[in-house]
Chains A and B, each alone.
Chain A
């Protein structure tokens, strides 16, 4: 009897210590050998969507590959978890994914009450509306939408901005709220709603998937600020640093003209700044201070290119979306993208 009791207590004690184990995400990721990244389940073309070979592609996806490359020197050591808007934060909080890169808007409540840390803004966006111009000729402004039925995805900032916008402009509307983007897309396509609202980049991406894309028009109004970016859990500063500086490294690489094609040659550059960023100066320790290797930026750029290359390939001129750089251009070119100095 006593032995059983002692055994029970022993199990309890072991259980207790296991629960109190600390969360060092970098060590966990290195131990399992790959990065687990949360992306958009619905397949948002240009941001995260599987291509015809079944590989995930897009701006959000490439960011995850960049983090994987920084850690492992190999951009393919990443597994993707498709998430709905509704499940995404729980998945990150519970440790199901190591990093969330799923066109998620950076807001104060998400940063505080939800216990997230945003690593940066990989895409500056704003919320817009799309209508079927063929069925509703004459509608060319969001201010004409009073009385409309509007399709929206639940649990998004979009849903809240929509309510605020119509209230502020004293207009009526009837929200038709879906849990997943596929359901919202299908409902809009079938004519259940007069208008569809989400981030403008999302509207262009969704329009490509509709039965007759040319009939649909994105209205000019942008009703909100939607800074989209990757996020990590709070309480692990080292991991947060890696998430943050991977993003800055992508920007710095673009500023310095380091591309996927010329990164090997750039290593021999005489420019001290380039040498520092690529870790090829004498006693480099920037990478090791981060908990990575000194050639981490080389690995990132080799895997996915610099920020500009990622942008053009996925959403810019090299993609069907053909979105202009606009405010997502580098600060040197009149945009908002600004890489903090790597030194």
Chain B
């Protein structure tokens, strides 16, 4: 029936294909795709031709070459004898590190400030407002410079460091604190932690099921905490205290030993967290205000205290509004981390730039940049979309 209908509709069009809307749309789509393919081919071919003519070597083989430069902050083993490929990996890990720590801190800070903005306390509300208005209206690079040049570089030199409790020091070279050096048998502590978390999860599940069935409540939080802390401590004791502490000591130039968080990382991390927290605070405020007033009134009518009402009724609904814009904030933090180059933190962009200059492989490096940043961003979006679906309104 339908077929016949289509055939009949095409009958008059045979007179002139030019006026058939289907043919026309198909034609233009084909032309567009051909133009696109041609455009890409032309750019690629042109590039290859120009590179060949100016005798610049191409290809990704350079990644296996010896890097020859040192990197101050590295999460993995790296020396000047390592390859360019490994240097890029070091940069990538540094970018991921600052992005993740930044995201976590910005989220916590943002939620606190966002909720403060709606507080009934006048002072708290105004402080939160001033914070948001200040940080939202200055460029992130300026915030980074503020922390780097305005706060961390005016700290005293290593010789006159601020002495903090627990053998930590703060000076213009960063924050030094004691490092735990684990001896043999330390795996028992990790094992204890895993067992503790697993048991806590199991207890929480059972308690929930019981509350659903009988309405009886169980102190899940305290039990969980006891399990998660208790088992590693037990492992620590069983393994015979496999721990020595490496305290920072004064060396010729700097403090040596201990763990050193460099000012470059600190200022980038602080700046990204404080800057993005202002945006997240606004998203949180909008999300909470987006939940209709009736909901909080209804939760109050049910006898929930305001804190519980917020936690059990308002926030779960607000999260649905909050998560999608939060994703773009997370992507912004990741991308803004490339501003690290201004203060010498060796992130992906800074190290890639150095390699670009040492090898001259501009196109290859830019391709690597694009692929990695795109990969990180897509992974973040994917995770947040999954989280969003999980948090979305469940219709029963």
User: In the assembly, what is the distance between CA of A156 and CA of B68, in Å?
Assistant: 11
Chain B residues lying within 8 Å of A148, measured Cβ to Cβ, are 252-254
- 19 extra interchain contacts, Cβ-Cβ under 8 A, other than A112-B57, A115-B54, A155-B356? A19-B46, A19-B49, A93-B56, A109-B359, A112-B55, A113-B359, A147-B252, A148-B253, A159-B354, A173-B70, A175-B71, A176-B344, A177-B344, A177-B350, A177-B354, A183-B344, A187-B153, A191-B153, A194-B253
> Is there a chain A Cβ closer than 8 Å to B60's Cβ?
no
Please pick, from B46, B254, B350, the residue contacting A179 in the complex, using a CB distance under 8 A: B350
Q: Given the complex, which residues of A lie within 8 Å of B254, measured CB to CB?
A: 147-149, 174, 194
- Could you say which residues of chain B place their CB within 8 Å of the CB of A167? 80
Bound CA span A176–B57, Å = 30
Q: Pick the contact of A12: B38, B50, B256 (CB < 8 A).
A: B38
26 example contacts (A-B, Cβ-Cβ < 8 A) are as follows A8-B35, A12-B42, A15-B42, A19-B42, A110-B360, A112-B55, A113-B359, A114-B56, A147-B253, A148-B253, A154-B353, A155-B353, A155-B354, A155-B358, A163-B68, A163-B80, A167-B80, A175-B71, A176-B344, A177-B350, A178-B344, A192-B153, A192-B172, A192-B263, A194-B253, A234-B55
* Interface of chain B residues 261 through 303 with chain A (CB within 8 A): 263-264
For residue B18, CB closer than 8 A to chain A, the reply is: yes
Please indicate the chain A residues that have their CB under 8 angstroms from the CB of B117 in the complex: none
Residues of A within 8 A of B31 (CB): 4, 8
A89 to B362, CA, bound (A): 9
Which residues of B (76-123) have their CB < 8 Å from a CB of A?
80
**B137-151 interface (Cβ within 8 A of A):** 149
B26 to A: closest C-beta gap in Å: 13
Chain A residues contacting B357 (CB-CB under 8 Å) are 85-86, 89, 154-156
- A1 interface neighbour in B27, B35, B350, B354, Cβ under 8 Å: B27
Identify which of residues 64-118 in chain A touch chain B, using a CB-to-CB cut-off of 8 Å: 85-86, 89-90, 93, 109-110, 112-115
Nearest-Cβ distance from residue A163 to partner chain B, whole angstroms: 4
A86 partner, pick from B70, B157, B356, beta carbons under 8 A: B356
Determine how close the nearest CB of chain B comes to the CB of A301; give it in whole angstroms.
Answer: 32
Nearest CB of chain B from residue A225's CB, rounded to whole Å? 16
B153 with A190: CB separation less than 8 A: yes
Q: Are A154 and B354 in contact (CB under 8 A)?
A: yes
Question: Which A residues are CB-close (under 8 A) to B235?
Answer: none
A154-B354, A179-B341, A192-B172 known; A163+B54 contact, CB < 8 A: no
Q: Which of B70, B157, B356 contacts A162 (CB 8 A)?
A: B70
Residues of B whose CB lies within 8 Å of any CB of A are 18, 27, 31, 35, 38, 42, 46, 49-50, 53-57, 68-72, 80, 149, 153-154, 157, 172-173, 251-254, 256, 263-264, 341-344, 346, 350, 353-354, 356-360, 362
* Distance from A238 Cβ to chain B, minimum over Cβ atoms (Å): 15
Q: Known contacts A147-B254, A177-B346; is A160 also within 8 Å of B42 by CB?
A: no
Distance, CA A16 to CA B173, complexed state (A): 55
From 155 to 195 in chain A, residues with beta carbon under 8 angstroms from any chain B beta carbon are: 155-156, 159-160, 162-164, 166-167, 173-179, 183-184, 186-187, 190-192, 194
Q: What is the chain A residue whose CB lies nearest that of B45?
A: A19
The secondary structure that dominates the A interface is mixed
On whether the beta carbons of A233 and B35 are closer than 8 Å, the reply is no
Binding site for B on A (CB under 8 A): 1, 4, 8, 12, 15-16, 19-20, 23, 85-86, 89-90, 93, 109-110, 112-115, 135-136, 144-149, 154-156, 159-160, 162-164, 166-167, 173-179, 183-184, 186-187, 190-192, 194, 233-235
B48 CB to closest chain A CB (Å) equals 11
Q: Are A176 and B56 touching (Cβ within 8 A)?
A: no
Contacts of A192 in B (CB 8 A): 153, 172-173, 263
Whole-angstrom CA separation of A12 from B37 in the bound complex: 12
A-B pairs with CB below 8 Å: how many?
135
A142 vs chain B, min Cβ distance (A):
13
Bound complex: CA A187 to CA B18 (Å): 69
Contact B69 A163 (CB under 8 A): yes
Interchain CA distance A149-B360 in the complex, whole Å: 28
- Asked if B173 contacts A115 (CB within 8 A), the reply is no
Given the known interface contacts A90-B362, A187-B153, the answer about A174 and B72 at a Cβ–Cβ threshold of 8 Å is yes
Closest B residue to A155 using CB positions: B357
* Contact indicator B149/A186 (Cβ below 8 Å): yes
How many Å from the CB of A89 to the closest CB on chain B? 5
Q: Given A154-B350, A177-B350: A164 and B68 within 8 A (CB)? A: yes
Is the beta-carbon distance between A149 and B253 smaller than 8 angstroms? Answer: yes
Most buried by A among B54, B157, B356, B359: B54
Partner of A147, one of B54, B256, B344: B256
Residue ID in chain A nearest B358 by CB atoms: A155
Which listed residue (B42, B154, B360) contacts A114, Cβ 8 A? B360
When C-beta atoms are compared, the residue in chain A nearest to B366 turns out to be: A90
Are the C-beta atoms of B360 and A93 separated by less than 8 Å? Answer: yes
State whether A191 touches B72 (Cβ < 8 A): no
Q: How far is the CA of A110 from the CA of B361 in the complex (A)?
A: 11
Q: Is the CB of A93 within 8 A of B362?
A: yes
Q: Across the interface, which residues of B come within 8 angstroms of A190, CB to CB?
A: 149, 153-154, 172
Asked whether, in the complex, the Cβ of A235 is within 8 Å of the Cβ of B149, the reply is no
Determine whether the beta carbon of A191 is less than 8 Å from that of B360.
no
Task: Enumerate chain B residues within 8 angstroms of A233, measured Cβ to Cβ.
Answer: 54
Q: How far is the CA of A194 from the CA of B159 in the complex (A)?
A: 12
Contact of A175 among B49, B72, B172, B251 (CB under 8 A): B72
Contacting residues, chain A, for B153 (C-beta < 8 A): 187, 190-192
Question: In the bound complex, what is the Cα–Cα distance between A54 and B82 (angstroms)?
Answer: 44
